[in-house]
Every structure is written in C-alpha cells, then in structure tokens.
Amino acid sequence: MTTLLQKERVLPLRVFVGAPNKTPQQTLWVTHSFCNLVQSLTSLIFPDRCVGCDIWGALLCASCYDRLHFLKVPAHLPHLSKQYFTDAYSVLAYESLAHDWIHQYKYHRKLYLAPLFISLLSKANLSWENYDSIVPVPLHWTRQVRRGFNPTYLLTNELGKKLGKPILPYLKKVRRTKPQTKLSQEERLKNVKGTFACNRHQDIKDLSLLLVDDVLTTGATVNECAKVLMKAGAKRVDVLTLARPL
C-alpha cells in the first residue's frame, strides 16, 4: 500500500542564500539546474526510500504516514495579550517523526525533506482561495548566511508555485535575536518584540495574507510578524506552520 506522497515527485528547488531585504537582482540564488543535478544524484544514491523507516518504494510509506498526528483545528494561544493574526493552523503535532524531520531540515540541511513538507503544507485544513498572497517568516541575514539557506523561504516559494499563489517577501528581520528554542514563554515574547519590519516598496493594503513558518510554539514570532502586517494595512493575517506542540 502506498500514499499519495509516493506519487509526488521531487520539486525543482532553489535555495535562497542572500540577505532577505535585497531585491531579486541583488540576491544570489542557487540555480534550478544545479539543484536538479543534486536531486538527480541523490535519487541515484537513495532512490525512493521512506524518510521515516528507510523502506524502499516511497518518500513516505503508508505505515509511517499513519504514525503522523494530523491537526484539524486552529491553535488556541490564550497567553498572547493581543493576537494580531486571526487563526493559526498547523499540519502536524510536533512530536516523533515530525520533530525529527524538522530538526534535520533546519539545522542539518536535509533538503530532501522539502518536497515532503511542501506536500504536507498543501494539504492543510484551510481554504487557500481565501488568501491573496503567502508571506514567509524571515530570518536575520546573518543567521541565514550561517545556515546557508532560509528554511521557510524555500518551502513557501515552492508551495506558492504548487498552489498558484504569489509569494510576498514583505517582512524583514532588522536585528538578531537569541534562538527562541532556549527561552521561556515570557522571554520569547520579549525576545522578538520590535524585530520585524516591512519592505516599504510593497503594498499590502486590504490583502488577506497567509503567514508561513515551520513550527508554532508560543506564537510570539508569528504574532510579531502579524502585527507589522496588520499595521501596514493588511485586511487579515492567518498563520500556517508545519507543526506545533500539543
């Protein structure tokens, strides 16, 4: 038995390695042809092995697919004193396989997981037709250079092409912050305060936007992003992440 994910082939990926506040002409992109070559070589060495159990024949086998805990309702985040986004959706519970995959993707550059994540995000329990554009949560350029890519930008670019939705890189991170994973709930809220700003050359007035990130925990980061978007004139901001803790 196979899942739909078995039939979805690897997408042509491009890795964004420049500063997020630069124009496309000023930004260095790894070309599609190079990424396709890397993926072709990877497919020859690791052809269609399940990322959950290494069984041959699928990117994600039926057994591992059944182990995933899919979430159907938006997150409830009562600790936010003022919530600037309307709803926050996550595809998976941040546990077991999902936790390991996201960690490997973000911190160890396991880019072969990107097609799986894009497929999962595209199946989120929301109405895509309600959104005018998709907005990725940015990294500070220094962290992006250190990692070699922006995990969220990579996913949103390919997700937008898959769904026919424009990507709007409206946000930029204007100062470095401590990693959120090491902070308490209160510290996270303080850590991200005032860290995001808008790219002035883009107009988002009266747009319904979908803000995309990898993991939703306290909601501090996405709420700060949504605050900037709403104050810039957005009509509505919803949030979509791959996973969140239960």
**Res. 4: pLDDT tops 80:** no
d(CA 95, CA 147): 23
Tell me the per-residue pLDDT of 161-218, one tens digit each, with 9 for 90 and over. 989 999 998 999 888 776 666 677 677 777 778 889 988 777 899 999 999 999 999 9
**Res. 18: pLDDT tops 80:** no
d(CA 6, CA 89): 24
Q: What is the pLDDT of residue 30?
A: 41
Q: Is pLDDT larger for residue 62 or for residue 35?
A: 62
d(CA 38, CA 41): 5
Its sign, for the CA torsion 117, 105, 74, 83, is negative
Tell me the per-residue pLDDT of 88-134, one tens digit each, with 9 for 90 and over. 999 999 998 999 999 999 888 888 899 999 999 998 989 999 999 99
Rounded to an integer, what is the distance from CA 45 to the centroid of its chain? Answer: 27
**Mean local confidence (pLDDT), 39-51:** 61
**Res. 26: pLDDT tops 50:** no
Q: Is 188 helix (H, G, I), strand (E, B) or coil?
A: helix
Q: Domain 68-244's class? A: alpha beta
pTM of the model: 0.80
Q: What is the pLDDT of residue 245?
A: 94
Phi-psi region of 149 (alpha: psi -120 to 50; beta: other; left: phi over 0): beta
